Amino acid sequence: LVLAIRRLREIKRVYVPDFQRGLRFVNGAYVNMLGPGSYQIAATREHIEIVDMRPQPVILERTFYRDAWNNTALVSVGADILVSNPHLAGTALKDQINDSLPIARDAVRSALSRGTASDDLDFRTRAVADITQAVNEELDRVGMKIENVEIVEFWLRPIAGEITGVAQ
In the complex, least distance from residue 107 CB atom to another protein, rounded to whole angstroms: 18
Segment 68 to 97, residues that bind another protein, using CB under 8 A = 72, 74, 76, 78, 80, 97
User: Which residues, 6+ apart, have CB-to-CB distance to 159 below 8 Å?
Assistant: 71
CB 81 within 8 A of CB 56: yes
In the complex, least distance from residue 70 CB atom to another protein, rounded to whole angstroms: 11
In the complex, least distance from residue 123 CB atom to another protein, rounded to whole angstroms: 13
Exposure on the CB side of residue 125, measured as CA atoms within 13 A: 3
For position 54 contacting another protein by CB under 8 A, the verdict is yes
Cross-sheet strand order for the sheet of 56-66: 56-66, 72-83, 144-156
Q: Is 13 helix (H, G, I), strand (E, B) or coil?
A: strand
For position 105 contacting another protein by CB under 8 A, the verdict is no
Q: Is 137 helix (H, G, I), strand (E, B) or coil?
A: helix
For position 11 contacting another protein by CB under 8 A, the verdict is no
For position 142 contacting another protein by CB under 8 A, the verdict is no
For position 64 contacting another protein by CB under 8 A, the verdict is yes
CB 126 within 8 A of CB 149: no
Q: Which residues bind another protein (CB under 8 A)?
A: 13, 15-19, 35-38, 52, 54-59, 62, 64, 72, 74, 76, 78, 80, 97, 150, 152-155, 157-158
